Structure 1
Amino acid sequence: MHYLLLGMMLLCAFAANAGMDPQQLKQTIAQRLGVRVFLIDETPVPGLFLLGTSQGLIYSDARGDYVLQGSMLDLGHGMKNLTMLDQQRQRRLALAQIGEQRMQLKAPHERHHLTLFTELGCRNCRATLDELPMLQARGVSVQLLPVLGRFADLADAQALWCDPALLGELSLSDRLPAAGCNEILAHHIGLSQWLGIKASPSWVLPNGDLVRGYQRPEQLLKLLDHIDAPANLSSSAS
């Protein structure tokens, strides 16, 4: 299934270097690996580029002849995990593409905010949705984004998420508009693909960390209260 996504996202996050064509590199990697490339960026290593793909972050030379997958560590600065930092940045960048058309459960006295990627039918997803009012009451606003299940079809997802009665038990402050809902939903699903969100539910914290699977409200609040220490979150949030 192809989604109207690339025109709404950044292909290249920098001015093209001489001898490196971002569009050509994107096409080469897409053909050779069978993945979509949403973002290309420089790395501290001359001639090595970071690619954000539908299967996660990879590294490539300028021609797409050699590809690396793994973590890049900056040994000159305390073994800083540059790949983890790029993953966080990519998630923040992707969520910035949502625009004004969103689904959101707004907390009256907001202390924190989260993004929840979810299906509607899975057991853990349903339990998570049922507990959202508990987060709302404790000052956590939640933005909802759809994930397309492994065997789901875009048309089926649109029929569910664009239903005016969707999540009627939740006091959503923002809902998808009836006009253009299908296109907006396709864009939102494309965001989940850009970020490689496969586990449902999955949470993205304000600093860009990803937390997979069902989490009790108390667990999420603990993470949010310590969001100023992202290095400690990386092990538990991965």
Structure 2
Amino acid sequence: MFFSFLKKRLLVSLSLLLVSTFSFAESKVDAQSVASISKKMQQISLQVTSIKESKVEGLYEVLTNSGIYYVSKNAQYLIYGSIYDIDNNMKNITESSLASLRQNKLKAFSNDMITYKAANEKHVITVFTDTSCAYCQKLHSEIADYNKLGITVRYLAFPRAGLNSSEYNIMTSIWCASDPKSAMDKAMKRQSLDPKQCANTIKEQYELGLFFGVRGTPAIVLEDGSLKPGYLPATKLLQQLEGK
């Protein structure tokens, strides 16, 4: 596993606090640094999408297939975590970067989602789910409550045990069923499904979740692109959606 690899290499995983003494750099990343960082990230099975100066002097913000990481300019040290701006009401700089990316990337999966639409739709959430997850089952059992409050629920698959797991096969059977919603309802009740195979995007959905920072299920993406880990009852979720 990637994170056990990080531990073995004694790489630092933490959240940074931005203090006023840190400078804000905007210069372009030189080609040598890009090549060096990309090579190092490949060694730990991360594919680099982009590299730019971070808000902290001496650190690059590196966008990968598994989210955002921060890397020292000599490409020796890697930090996995969030940067906060103390002077800006503890704004999560990392989350702000990811939120806009999530909004854009979800658009490509709009036709791959299993959707429970609210009749009086006011809000739309996207939930990364795993039918073997107890809190995913609880959330699903309350779908009617979310819908009554005007919350449309869209599902993407995130088999927690990975792409070679029995849960991956169940998710595939759901998405390949002639009636995916009915199959989802059965699977969430731990009822058996007829095995199905078809062209599907379960792998891509799972990888999207990793990129978004999903580490467990359920994981809820709100309309603004923010990620809320874990189960939230309908009333509390509505409060968050409406900023109350």
TM-score, normalising length: structure 2: 0.68
Q: Which has the higher contact order (CA 8 A, sep 6+)?
A: 1
Post-superposition shift, 1:121? 2.7
Letter in 1 for 2:199: N
1:26 and 1:81 map into 2 onto residues whose CA distance is: 25
Contact 2:114 2:180 in 1 (8 A): no
Aligned with 2:233 (options 216, 226, 237): 216
With over 3 angstroms needed to count, the CA separation of the structure-2 counterparts of 1:67 and 1:123, relative to structure 1, is closer
Decide whether aligned partners of structure 1 residues 42 and 143 sit closer, same or farther in structure 2, where only a CA change above 3 A counts: farther
Looking at structure 2, the residues matched to 44 and 122 of structure 1 have their Cα atoms a distance apart, in angstroms, of 37
Structure 1 counterpart of 2:79 = 68
Higher Rg: 2
Q: Distance in 1 between matches of 2:57 and 2:183?
A: 53
Q: Secondary structure at the match of 2:181?
A: coil
Report the Cα distance in structure 2 between the residues aligned to 1:159 and 1:113, rounded to whole angstroms: 25
2:175 match: 161
Quote the residue 2:102 is aligned against: 91
Letter in 2 for 1:121: S
Identity of aligned residues (%): 24
The amino acid across from 1:87 in the alignment is L
What pairs with 1:65-214 in structure 2 (closer than 5 Å)? 65-74=76-85, 77=88, 79-150=90-161, 152=165, 154-168=168-182, 182-214=199-231
Could you tell me how far apart the structure 1 residues matched to 2:141 and 2:183 are?
9
Question: Which deviates more, 103-112 or 88-97?
Answer: 88-97
Contact 1:55 1:196 in 2 (8 A): yes
Paired residues of 1:30 and 1:36 also in contact (CA < 8 A): yes
| TM value normalised by structure 1 | 0.69
Distance in 1, matches of 2:128 and 2:181, equals 15
| RMSD (CA atoms) | 3.4
Partner Cα distance (2:200, 2:172) in 1: 9
**Is the deviation greater in 141-150 or in 181-190?**
181-190
- 1:37, CA displacement in angstroms? 4.1
Summarize the alignment of residues 13-24 of structure 1 with structure 2, pairs less than 5 Å apart.
Answer: 17-20=29-32, 22=34
Distance 1:100 1:161 in 2: 11
C-alpha contact 2:160 2:216 (8 A) present in aligned 1: no
Partner of 2:188: none
Once residues 170 and 150 of structure 1 are traced to their aligned partners in structure 2, the CA distance between those partners, rounded to angstroms, is 18
- Please tell me whether residue 28 in structure 1 is matched to residue 40 in structure 2: yes
Cα distance change on mapping 1:24 and 1:208 into 2, 3 Å: same
- CA shift, 1:38, in A, is 4.8
Report SS of the residue matched to 1:199. Answer: coil
Distance 1:62 1:92, change over 3 A: farther
Distance 1:164 1:52 in 2: 37
Gaps of 5+ in 2: 2-27, 186-196
Letter in 2 for 1:221: L
Letter in 1 for 2:201: I
Specify the alignment match of 1:236 in structure 2: none
Q: Which residue of 1 aligns with 2:194?
A: none
- The 8 Å contact of residues 127 and 218 in structure 2, kept in 1 or not, is answered as yes
Query: How many residues were matched structurally?
Result: 206
Change over 3 Å in CA distance of 1:144–1:23 after alignment to 2:
farther
